[in-house]
Amino acid sequence: MQSDRPTRAAASAASRPVGRGPKVRAAVLAATLTELAETGYAALTVDNVAQRAGVHKTTVYRRWQDRETLVVAALTEHIAADIPIPDTGAVETDLRLLARGLIGWATSPSGRAVLSVMLSDAIRLPEVAEARRHIFEDRVRRAAPVIVRAVERGELPGGTDPAEVVRTLAAPVYFQLLITGEPLDEAAADRAARIALAAARATP
Amino acid sequence: MQSDRPTRAAASAASRPVGRGPKVRAAVLAATLTELAETGYAALTVDNVAQRAGVHKTTVYRRWQDRETLVVAALTEHIAADIPIPDTGAVETDLRLLARGLIGWATSPSGRAVLSVMLSDAIRLPEVAEARRHIFEDRVRRAAPVIVRAVERGELPGGTDPAEVVRTLAAPVYFQLLITGEPLDEAAADRAARIALAAARATP
Protein backbone atom coordinates (compact mmCIF):
# COMPACT_ATOMS: atom_id res chain seq x y z
CA MET A 1 0.00 0.00 0.00
CA GLN A 2 2.62 2.45 1.09
CA SER A 3 4.73 1.80 -2.00
CA ASP A 4 1.76 2.85 -4.15
CA ARG A 5 1.57 6.36 -2.74
CA PRO A 6 4.50 8.08 -4.42
CA THR A 7 3.17 6.96 -7.82
CA ARG A 8 -0.29 8.35 -7.12
CA ALA A 9 1.17 11.57 -5.81
CA ALA A 10 3.36 11.90 -8.88
CA ALA A 11 0.39 11.22 -11.15
CA SER A 12 -1.66 13.83 -9.40
CA ALA A 13 1.14 16.38 -9.58
CA ALA A 14 1.77 15.66 -13.25
CA SER A 15 -1.88 16.04 -14.19
CA ARG A 16 -2.36 19.26 -12.26
CA PRO A 17 -0.79 21.71 -14.76
CA VAL A 18 -3.43 21.03 -17.42
CA GLY A 19 -6.27 20.98 -14.88
CA ARG A 20 -9.13 18.51 -14.76
CA GLY A 21 -12.04 17.42 -16.92
CA PRO A 22 -12.32 19.05 -20.34
CA LYS A 23 -8.78 20.45 -20.23
CA VAL A 24 -7.25 17.03 -19.55
CA ARG A 25 -9.42 15.52 -22.25
CA ALA A 26 -8.37 18.15 -24.81
CA ALA A 27 -4.69 17.84 -23.87
CA VAL A 28 -4.70 14.05 -24.17
CA LEU A 29 -6.54 14.02 -27.50
CA ALA A 30 -4.27 16.72 -28.93
CA ALA A 31 -1.24 14.74 -27.74
CA THR A 32 -2.68 11.62 -29.39
CA LEU A 33 -2.93 13.39 -32.74
CA THR A 34 0.58 14.82 -32.43
CA GLU A 35 2.00 11.40 -31.56
CA LEU A 36 0.11 9.88 -34.50
CA ALA A 37 1.53 12.49 -36.84
CA GLU A 38 5.08 12.00 -35.60
CA THR A 39 5.33 8.27 -35.01
CA GLY A 40 2.30 6.78 -36.81
CA TYR A 41 -0.35 4.47 -35.43
CA ALA A 42 1.81 1.34 -35.19
CA ALA A 43 4.31 2.99 -32.84
CA LEU A 44 1.75 4.87 -30.73
CA THR A 45 1.77 4.08 -27.01
CA VAL A 46 -0.42 5.37 -24.19
CA ASP A 47 2.79 6.06 -22.26
CA ASN A 48 4.05 8.48 -24.90
CA VAL A 49 0.67 10.17 -25.22
CA ALA A 50 0.46 10.62 -21.45
CA GLN A 51 3.98 12.02 -21.28
CA ARG A 52 3.33 14.49 -24.08
CA ALA A 53 0.05 15.60 -22.51
CA GLY A 54 1.75 16.04 -19.14
CA VAL A 55 -0.52 13.56 -17.36
CA HIS A 56 0.03 10.16 -15.79
CA LYS A 57 -0.98 7.21 -17.90
CA THR A 58 -3.55 6.14 -15.32
CA THR A 59 -5.30 9.45 -16.10
CA VAL A 60 -5.51 8.35 -19.71
CA TYR A 61 -6.70 4.83 -18.89
CA ARG A 62 -9.38 6.24 -16.57
CA ARG A 63 -11.08 7.86 -19.59
CA TRP A 64 -10.13 5.60 -22.50
CA GLN A 65 -9.81 1.89 -21.98
CA ASP A 66 -7.11 1.29 -24.59
CA ARG A 67 -5.06 2.66 -27.46
CA GLU A 68 -7.82 2.07 -30.04
CA THR A 69 -10.49 3.88 -28.00
CA LEU A 70 -8.10 6.78 -27.54
CA VAL A 71 -7.33 7.04 -31.25
CA VAL A 72 -11.00 6.90 -32.25
CA ALA A 73 -11.79 9.64 -29.69
CA ALA A 74 -8.96 11.80 -31.06
CA LEU A 75 -10.20 11.35 -34.62
CA THR A 76 -13.82 12.02 -33.73
CA GLU A 77 -12.89 15.13 -31.75
CA HIS A 78 -11.21 16.55 -34.82
CA ILE A 79 -13.98 15.76 -37.26
CA ALA A 80 -15.24 19.31 -37.28
CA ALA A 81 -11.82 20.49 -38.42
CA ASP A 82 -11.84 24.11 -39.39
CA ILE A 83 -12.22 23.91 -43.13
CA PRO A 84 -13.87 27.24 -43.88
CA ILE A 85 -17.08 27.04 -45.91
CA PRO A 86 -16.95 29.93 -48.41
CA ASP A 87 -19.89 31.96 -49.73
CA THR A 88 -18.58 34.38 -52.34
CA GLY A 89 -21.62 34.32 -54.62
CA ALA A 90 -19.79 32.46 -57.42
CA VAL A 91 -19.48 28.67 -57.50
CA GLU A 92 -16.03 28.58 -59.11
CA THR A 93 -14.54 30.86 -56.45
CA ASP A 94 -16.33 28.95 -53.70
CA LEU A 95 -14.96 25.63 -54.96
CA ARG A 96 -11.43 27.04 -55.24
CA LEU A 97 -11.58 28.29 -51.67
CA LEU A 98 -13.04 25.00 -50.48
CA ALA A 99 -10.16 23.11 -52.15
CA ARG A 100 -7.63 25.48 -50.56
CA GLY A 101 -9.22 24.84 -47.18
CA LEU A 102 -8.99 21.10 -47.72
CA ILE A 103 -5.33 21.41 -48.74
CA GLY A 104 -4.68 23.53 -45.65
CA TRP A 105 -6.21 20.85 -43.44
CA ALA A 106 -4.60 17.83 -45.17
CA THR A 107 -1.13 19.37 -44.90
CA SER A 108 -1.56 20.60 -41.30
CA PRO A 109 -0.22 18.56 -38.36
CA SER A 110 -3.68 17.42 -37.26
CA GLY A 111 -4.74 16.64 -40.83
CA ARG A 112 -1.60 14.59 -41.39
CA ALA A 113 -2.24 12.77 -38.12
CA VAL A 114 -5.80 11.88 -39.08
CA LEU A 115 -4.66 10.73 -42.52
CA SER A 116 -1.79 8.67 -41.12
CA VAL A 117 -4.29 6.67 -39.05
CA MET A 118 -6.63 6.18 -41.99
CA LEU A 119 -3.79 4.91 -44.12
CA SER A 120 -2.42 2.61 -41.42
CA ASP A 121 -3.44 -0.87 -40.36
CA ALA A 122 -5.70 0.80 -37.81
CA ILE A 123 -8.32 1.16 -40.53
CA ARG A 124 -9.00 -2.56 -40.09
CA LEU A 125 -10.57 -1.74 -36.72
CA PRO A 126 -14.32 -1.24 -37.25
CA GLU A 127 -14.30 1.78 -34.90
CA VAL A 128 -11.59 3.51 -36.94
CA ALA A 129 -13.32 2.73 -40.24
CA GLU A 130 -16.53 4.11 -38.71
CA ALA A 131 -14.73 7.28 -37.58
CA ARG A 132 -13.39 7.71 -41.11
CA ARG A 133 -16.86 7.37 -42.61
CA HIS A 134 -18.19 9.83 -40.06
CA ILE A 135 -15.43 12.37 -40.84
CA PHE A 136 -16.20 12.37 -44.54
CA GLU A 137 -19.96 12.46 -44.11
CA ASP A 138 -19.53 15.45 -41.84
CA ARG A 139 -17.29 17.17 -44.39
CA VAL A 140 -19.80 16.66 -47.15
CA ARG A 141 -22.69 17.81 -44.96
CA ARG A 142 -20.88 21.00 -44.01
CA ALA A 143 -19.80 21.81 -47.58
CA ALA A 144 -23.15 20.98 -49.20
CA PRO A 145 -24.59 24.52 -48.91
CA VAL A 146 -21.92 25.73 -51.39
CA ILE A 147 -23.45 23.47 -54.03
CA VAL A 148 -27.05 24.13 -53.01
CA ARG A 149 -26.47 27.89 -53.40
CA ALA A 150 -24.85 27.36 -56.83
CA VAL A 151 -27.90 25.42 -57.99
CA GLU A 152 -30.19 28.18 -56.66
CA ARG A 153 -28.18 30.78 -58.60
CA GLY A 154 -28.49 28.64 -61.74
CA GLU A 155 -24.73 28.01 -61.94
CA LEU A 156 -25.16 24.24 -61.66
CA PRO A 157 -27.96 22.02 -63.02
CA GLY A 158 -30.98 21.39 -60.79
CA GLY A 159 -30.67 18.04 -59.05
CA THR A 160 -26.85 18.26 -58.76
CA ASP A 161 -25.77 15.99 -55.91
CA PRO A 162 -23.73 18.07 -53.43
CA ALA A 163 -21.92 15.01 -52.05
CA GLU A 164 -20.83 14.01 -55.55
CA VAL A 165 -19.37 17.47 -56.25
CA VAL A 166 -17.48 17.55 -52.94
CA ARG A 167 -16.01 14.09 -53.60
CA THR A 168 -14.96 15.08 -57.12
CA LEU A 169 -13.31 18.20 -55.68
CA ALA A 170 -11.43 16.26 -53.00
CA ALA A 171 -10.14 13.43 -55.21
CA PRO A 172 -7.43 15.35 -57.14
CA VAL A 173 -6.17 16.90 -53.89
CA TYR A 174 -5.66 13.51 -52.23
CA PHE A 175 -4.23 12.05 -55.43
CA GLN A 176 -1.46 14.65 -55.46
CA LEU A 177 -0.91 14.38 -51.72
CA LEU A 178 -0.76 10.59 -51.46
CA ILE A 179 0.10 9.23 -54.87
CA THR A 180 2.13 11.61 -57.01
CA GLY A 181 3.59 13.68 -54.17
CA GLU A 182 3.28 16.87 -56.22
CA PRO A 183 3.14 20.17 -54.33
CA LEU A 184 -0.32 21.23 -53.20
CA ASP A 185 -0.31 24.87 -54.20
CA GLU A 186 -3.06 27.25 -55.28
CA ALA A 187 -2.86 25.93 -58.84
CA ALA A 188 -3.67 22.46 -57.49
CA ALA A 189 -6.73 23.86 -55.70
CA ASP A 190 -7.88 25.68 -58.84
CA ARG A 191 -7.41 22.52 -60.90
CA ALA A 192 -9.56 20.50 -58.45
CA ALA A 193 -12.27 23.18 -58.64
CA ARG A 194 -12.17 23.15 -62.44
CA ILE A 195 -12.56 19.35 -62.55
CA ALA A 196 -15.43 19.31 -60.03
CA LEU A 197 -17.22 22.07 -61.91
CA ALA A 198 -16.81 20.43 -65.32
CA ALA A 199 -18.06 17.08 -63.98
CA ALA A 200 -21.08 18.69 -62.28
CA ARG A 201 -22.04 20.63 -65.41
CA ALA A 202 -21.68 17.57 -67.64
CA THR A 203 -23.88 15.39 -65.40
CA PRO A 204 -27.26 14.81 -67.05
CA MET B 1 37.16 -21.22 -40.56
CA GLN B 2 35.73 -24.68 -40.10
CA SER B 3 32.70 -23.35 -38.21
CA ASP B 4 31.80 -21.25 -41.24
CA ARG B 5 31.32 -24.22 -43.55
CA PRO B 6 27.96 -25.61 -42.46
CA THR B 7 26.39 -22.18 -42.90
CA ARG B 8 27.70 -21.81 -46.41
CA ALA B 9 26.63 -25.32 -47.30
CA ALA B 10 23.16 -24.62 -45.93
CA ALA B 11 22.96 -21.38 -47.87
CA SER B 12 23.95 -23.12 -51.05
CA ALA B 13 21.41 -25.90 -50.52
CA ALA B 14 18.63 -23.48 -49.68
CA SER B 15 19.19 -21.37 -52.75
CA ARG B 16 19.29 -24.32 -55.14
CA PRO B 17 15.52 -25.01 -55.48
CA VAL B 18 14.80 -21.73 -57.28
CA GLY B 19 17.96 -21.96 -59.37
CA ARG B 20 20.43 -19.16 -60.08
CA GLY B 21 20.52 -15.79 -61.75
CA PRO B 22 17.23 -14.40 -63.10
CA LYS B 23 15.11 -17.00 -61.29
CA VAL B 24 16.57 -16.11 -57.90
CA ARG B 25 16.17 -12.44 -58.69
CA ALA B 26 12.50 -12.87 -59.66
CA ALA B 27 11.75 -15.04 -56.63
CA VAL B 28 13.34 -12.57 -54.20
CA LEU B 29 11.61 -9.51 -55.71
CA ALA B 30 8.24 -11.29 -55.76
CA ALA B 31 8.76 -12.32 -52.13
CA THR B 32 9.62 -8.71 -51.28
CA LEU B 33 6.32 -7.47 -52.73
CA THR B 34 4.35 -10.19 -50.96
CA GLU B 35 6.02 -9.40 -47.64
CA LEU B 36 5.34 -5.70 -48.20
CA ALA B 37 1.66 -6.42 -48.89
CA GLU B 38 1.30 -8.61 -45.82
CA THR B 39 3.44 -6.89 -43.20
CA GLY B 40 4.11 -3.41 -44.58
CA TYR B 41 7.39 -1.65 -45.09
CA ALA B 42 8.11 -0.94 -41.41
CA ALA B 43 8.05 -4.64 -40.50
CA LEU B 44 9.87 -5.91 -43.59
CA THR B 45 13.09 -7.85 -42.93
CA VAL B 46 15.59 -9.40 -45.33
CA ASP B 47 15.32 -12.59 -43.25
CA ASN B 48 11.61 -12.93 -43.95
CA VAL B 49 12.04 -12.12 -47.62
CA ALA B 50 14.79 -14.74 -47.96
CA GLN B 51 12.71 -17.36 -46.16
CA ARG B 52 9.68 -16.70 -48.35
CA ALA B 53 11.78 -16.83 -51.51
CA GLY B 54 13.43 -20.08 -50.39
CA VAL B 55 16.94 -18.65 -50.45
CA HIS B 56 19.52 -17.91 -47.78
CA LYS B 57 19.74 -14.30 -46.71
CA THR B 58 23.36 -14.11 -47.89
CA THR B 59 21.96 -14.75 -51.38
CA VAL B 60 19.81 -11.66 -50.97
CA TYR B 61 22.63 -9.52 -49.58
CA ARG B 62 24.91 -10.57 -52.43
CA ARG B 63 22.58 -8.79 -54.90
CA TRP B 64 21.00 -6.03 -52.82
CA GLN B 65 23.02 -4.30 -50.16
CA ASP B 66 20.14 -3.51 -47.81
CA ARG B 67 16.39 -3.46 -47.25
CA GLU B 68 15.93 -0.12 -49.05
CA THR B 69 17.78 -1.26 -52.18
CA LEU B 70 15.71 -4.43 -52.22
CA VAL B 71 12.41 -2.55 -51.94
CA VAL B 72 13.34 -0.08 -54.68
CA ALA B 73 14.31 -2.99 -56.96
CA ALA B 74 10.99 -4.74 -56.26
CA LEU B 75 9.03 -1.58 -57.04
CA THR B 76 10.97 -0.83 -60.20
CA GLU B 77 10.57 -4.40 -61.42
CA HIS B 78 6.81 -4.03 -61.16
CA ILE B 79 6.56 -0.66 -62.83
CA ALA B 80 5.34 -2.12 -66.08
CA ALA B 81 2.39 -3.70 -64.28
CA ASP B 82 -0.06 -5.18 -66.67
CA ILE B 83 -2.69 -2.50 -66.91
CA PRO B 84 -4.17 -3.21 -70.34
CA ILE B 85 -4.26 -0.24 -72.71
CA PRO B 86 -7.63 -0.39 -74.53
CA ASP B 87 -8.35 0.68 -78.11
CA THR B 88 -12.09 0.29 -78.71
CA GLY B 89 -12.50 3.26 -81.05
CA ALA B 90 -14.53 5.27 -78.51
CA VAL B 91 -12.90 7.43 -75.85
CA GLU B 92 -15.54 6.85 -73.18
CA THR B 93 -15.26 3.06 -73.45
CA ASP B 94 -11.46 3.30 -73.52
CA LEU B 95 -11.42 5.42 -70.35
CA ARG B 96 -13.82 3.07 -68.59
CA LEU B 97 -11.62 0.08 -69.42
CA LEU B 98 -8.50 1.97 -68.39
CA ALA B 99 -10.10 2.79 -65.03
CA ARG B 100 -11.11 -0.86 -64.59
CA GLY B 101 -7.53 -1.89 -65.31
CA LEU B 102 -6.23 0.56 -62.73
CA ILE B 103 -8.73 -0.74 -60.16
CA GLY B 104 -7.66 -4.29 -60.96
CA TRP B 105 -4.04 -3.39 -60.36
CA ALA B 106 -4.57 -1.27 -57.23
CA THR B 107 -6.60 -4.03 -55.56
CA SER B 108 -4.25 -6.88 -56.59
CA PRO B 109 -1.60 -8.21 -54.18
CA SER B 110 1.28 -6.56 -56.06
CA GLY B 111 -0.64 -3.30 -56.45
CA ARG B 112 -1.42 -3.24 -52.75
CA ALA B 113 2.22 -3.97 -51.99
CA VAL B 114 3.46 -1.11 -54.16
CA LEU B 115 0.89 1.26 -52.63
CA SER B 116 1.72 0.19 -49.08
CA VAL B 117 5.34 1.24 -49.65
CA MET B 118 4.34 4.55 -51.20
CA LEU B 119 2.10 5.35 -48.27
CA SER B 120 4.68 4.32 -45.68
CA ASP B 121 7.59 6.22 -44.18
CA ALA B 122 9.71 4.65 -46.92
CA ILE B 123 8.58 7.43 -49.23
CA ARG B 124 11.02 9.70 -47.34
CA LEU B 125 13.86 7.78 -48.99
CA PRO B 126 14.83 9.61 -52.19
CA GLU B 127 15.16 6.29 -54.05
CA VAL B 128 11.60 5.28 -53.15
CA ALA B 129 10.21 8.71 -54.05
CA GLU B 130 12.09 8.42 -57.35
CA ALA B 131 10.64 4.95 -57.98
CA ARG B 132 7.16 6.33 -57.32
CA ARG B 133 7.69 9.19 -59.78
CA HIS B 134 8.99 6.71 -62.32
CA ILE B 135 5.99 4.38 -61.88
CA PHE B 136 3.49 7.16 -62.55
CA GLU B 137 5.40 8.63 -65.46
CA ASP B 138 5.49 5.18 -67.01
CA ARG B 139 1.74 4.73 -66.47
CA VAL B 140 0.96 8.03 -68.12
CA ARG B 141 3.31 7.34 -71.02
CA ARG B 142 1.73 3.95 -71.68
CA ALA B 143 -1.86 5.26 -71.46
CA ALA B 144 -1.25 8.42 -73.50
CA PRO B 145 -2.14 6.81 -76.90
CA VAL B 146 -5.75 6.41 -75.68
CA ILE B 147 -6.03 10.20 -75.44
CA VAL B 148 -4.03 10.89 -78.60
CA ARG B 149 -6.39 8.63 -80.60
CA ALA B 150 -9.45 10.36 -79.08
CA VAL B 151 -8.10 13.75 -80.19
CA GLU B 152 -7.43 12.35 -83.68
CA ARG B 153 -11.03 11.11 -83.84
CA GLY B 154 -12.27 14.54 -82.78
CA GLU B 155 -13.71 13.22 -79.50
CA LEU B 156 -11.50 15.48 -77.40
CA PRO B 157 -10.28 19.03 -78.14
CA GLY B 158 -6.98 19.43 -79.99
CA GLY B 159 -4.17 20.13 -77.55
CA THR B 160 -5.68 17.98 -74.79
CA ASP B 161 -2.86 16.96 -72.43
CA PRO B 162 -2.85 13.14 -72.16
CA ALA B 163 -1.10 13.21 -68.78
CA GLU B 164 -3.75 15.52 -67.39
CA VAL B 165 -6.57 13.22 -68.51
CA VAL B 166 -4.89 10.13 -67.04
CA ARG B 167 -4.35 11.90 -63.71
CA THR B 168 -7.97 13.06 -63.62
CA LEU B 169 -9.08 9.49 -64.33
CA ALA B 170 -6.90 8.01 -61.60
CA ALA B 171 -7.78 10.49 -58.83
CA PRO B 172 -11.34 9.28 -58.05
CA VAL B 173 -10.13 5.66 -58.01
CA TYR B 174 -7.44 6.36 -55.40
CA PHE B 175 -9.80 8.61 -53.45
CA GLN B 176 -12.27 5.75 -52.98
CA LEU B 177 -9.51 3.24 -52.32
CA LEU B 178 -7.54 5.25 -49.76
CA ILE B 179 -9.88 7.83 -48.29
CA THR B 180 -13.52 6.83 -48.31
CA GLY B 181 -12.99 3.06 -48.47
CA GLU B 182 -15.95 2.63 -50.82
CA PRO B 183 -16.03 -0.47 -53.00
CA LEU B 184 -14.20 -0.18 -56.31
CA ASP B 185 -16.72 -1.70 -58.66
CA GLU B 186 -17.51 -1.07 -62.33
CA ALA B 187 -19.70 1.88 -61.40
CA ALA B 188 -16.64 3.47 -59.75
CA ALA B 189 -14.64 2.97 -62.96
CA ASP B 190 -17.44 4.47 -65.07
CA ARG B 191 -17.69 7.44 -62.73
CA ALA B 192 -13.93 8.09 -63.02
CA ALA B 193 -14.20 7.93 -66.82
CA ARG B 194 -17.13 10.35 -66.81
CA ILE B 195 -15.22 12.87 -64.65
CA ALA B 196 -12.04 12.66 -66.77
CA LEU B 197 -14.04 13.09 -69.95
CA ALA B 198 -16.04 16.07 -68.65
CA ALA B 199 -12.86 17.78 -67.42
CA ALA B 200 -11.04 17.19 -70.72
CA ARG B 201 -13.95 18.53 -72.75
CA ALA B 202 -14.34 21.62 -70.56
CA THR B 203 -10.65 22.54 -70.78
CA PRO B 204 -10.17 25.57 -73.02
Q: What is the pLDDT of residues B61-79, one digit of tens each?
A: 999 999 888 988 888 777 6
Tens digit of pLDDT for each residue in B47-65? 999 999 999 999 999 999 9
pLDDT-derived band at B82, boundaries 50, 70, 90: low
**Local structure of residue A177 (DSSP, 8 states):** I
For chain A, percent helix, then strand, then coil, each to nearest 5? 75, 0, 25
Q: How far is B197 from B91, CA to CA, in rounded Å?
A: 8
Q: Choose the weakest-confidence range: A34-38, A53-57, B9-13, B162-166.
A: B9-13
Chain A residues in contact with B201 (beta carbon < 8 A): 198, 202
pLDDT for A35 beyond 80: yes
Query: Minimal Cα–Cα distance from B1 to chain A, Å?
Result: 42
Residue B175 has its nearest CB partner, among A123, A175, A203, at A175
Q: What are the strands, taking DSSP E only, across A40-153?
A: none
Higher pLDDT, A82 or B164: B164
Cβ separation of A194 and B199 shorter than 8 Å?
A: yes
- pTM for the model stands at 0.80
Q: Where does B14-78 sit in CATH, by number?
A: 1.10.10.60
Could you tell me the residue ranges of all domains in chain B? 14-78, 91-201
User: At what angle are helices A46-53 and A22-39 packed, to 10 degrees?
Assistant: 120
Give the closest-approach CA distance of A142 to chain B in angstroms.
Answer: 17
Look at residues A175, A185, A177, A106 and name the one whose alpha carbon lies nearest to residue B167. Answer: A175
Q: What is the pLDDT of residue B133?
A: 84
Q: What is the pLDDT of residues A135-144, one digit of tens each?
A: 888 888 999 9
In terms of CATH architecture, what is A91-201? Orthogonal Bundle (1.10)
CB atoms A180 and B167 under 8 Å: yes
pLDDT confidence tier of residue B15, bands split at 50, 70 and 90: very low
Q: Per mean pLDDT, which range of A6-10, A164-168, B155-159, B182-186 is the poorest?
A: A6-10
Mean pLDDT of B25-43: 86
Q: Which residue of A has its CA nearest to B41?
A: A120
Which of B42, B181, B197 is opposite residue A129, by nearest beta carbon? B181
CA of B133: which chain A residue's CA is closest?
A180
Q: What's the pLDDT tens digit per position in A54-90?
A: 999 999 999 999 988 898 888 877 765 668 899 999 9
What sign results for the dihedral spanned by CA atoms A141, A86, B200, B84? Answer: negative
Nearest to B54 by CA among B89, B4, B14: B14
Could B199 and A199 be called an inter-chain contact, meaning their C-beta atoms sit closer than 8 Å?
yes
Provide, rounded to the nearest whole percent, the portion of chain B with pLDDT above 90.
Answer: 51
pLDDT at residue A82 in the model: 67
Mutate to test the interface with B, among A161, A174, A175, A179 (most CBs of B within 10 A): A179
> What is the C-alpha to C-alpha distance for residues B27 and B24, in angstroms, rounded to an integer?
5
Would you say the C-alpha torsion B192, B195, B199, B202 has a positive or negative sign? positive
| B contact set with A (CB within 8 A) | 40, 42, 118-119, 121, 123, 129, 132-133, 136, 167-168, 170-172, 174-175, 178-181, 194-195, 197-199, 201-203
Give B81's pLDDT tier (boundaries 50, 70, 90): low
Predicted confidence at residue A41, as pLDDT, reads 79
Instruction: Judge: A198–B199 Cβ closer than 8 Å, yes or no.
Output: yes
Tell me the nearest-neighbour CA distance from B171 into chain A, angstroms. 5
Residues of A in Cβ contact (< 8 Å) with B118: 178-179
Compute the mean pLDDT over every residue in chain A, rounded to the nearest whole number: 85
Q: Is pLDDT above 80 for B4? A: no
Nearest residue to B56 (alpha-carbon basis) of B10, B2, B20, B93: B10
CA pair distance B59, A173, nearest whole angstrom: 42
